[in-house]
Amino acid sequence: MATRRKRPAPTPSPPELETTGDDEIAPVAADEIRVRRIHRRDLNRVWEFLKLVFRDVNRQTLEYQRPRSKQRFIEQYEEEGIEQLVFEVDGEIVGYAECAFEVTGSDNWINPRFFESRDMRPLFVEELASHPSYQGRGVGMFMLEQLQHLARVRGCTHLVLEVAENNDSALKFYRKRNFYKLDAAIFLAQKVESEPELLPPRRLQKKRDEDEPEDGENGPAEAG
């Protein structure tokens, strides 16, 4: 769902995202989750983190659950209107969230009128990834609460995201937190019985005598 977006009007940063004056991370206690906005120096680490998180999921899903290439991921960092948040514990990346407040451009699949007709002002959650080793320790909930906070301070009414239907763990997480299905497309497939273009192998016939007629022949026809 990554598309080019227009940057929304600036608003005050939520307290959870504040940094020190020199853009360095303030000291934090061990085992404390801290969130900050992504920096260019984080791009390689975050990309490796996303590959780790979605490695098994992407083997099972029709659509990639992360950007298709590192180049596209870097391009997203340069685009306007996208929030990219890094969640860390003692300097280790344990979560990543990416969201946008607007969808624009001709290459997106989102219909803004769907939300307008329902008086919905969505915050589009493009990525929500937690480290496998930290699942069950409150990282996912903290990330979700951060996005809910961003939505409230920006005047959004809903979080909207896409998840693969066979990603059972993710679906269980979202449904438990009152996410519900919108009017979304479902990938359908029909099996077609096909035939190979080339004929199958055929058993060789026994070599016949020179005077023996070929199969289906009774010898030369008599002239009338």
- How many degrees, rounded to 5, is the angle at CA 149 between CA 147 and CA 152? 110
Beta bridge partners of 70: none
Q: List the structure tokens of 42.
A: 């984080």
Q: What is the structure's pLDDT at 9?
A: 40
The string of pLDDT tens digits covering residues 28-86 is 556 899 999 999 999 999 999 998 888 776 666 656 556 668 888 888 888 888 899 99
What DSSP letter does each residue of 157-183 carry, written as one string?
Answer: -EEEE---TT-HHHHHHHHHTT----S
pTM comes to: 0.69
The span from the CA of 177 to the CA of 52, in Å, is 25
> Which residue shows structure tokens 């019985």?
193
pLDDT tens digit sequence for 80-118: 888 999 999 999 999 999 999 887 544 567 888 889 999
Q: Residue 164: its pLDDT value, please?
A: 78
Average the pLDDT over 7-32 and give the result: 49
* DSSP state at residue 216: T
CA atoms within 13 A on the CB side of 131: 18
99 forms bridges with which residues in the sheet? Answer: 83, 125
* Tokens 């801290």 -> residue: 34
Strands of 122-130's sheet in order across: 33-37, 82-89, 92-100, 122-130, 158-161
Are 66 and 58 in contact by the 8 Å Cβ rule? The answer is yes
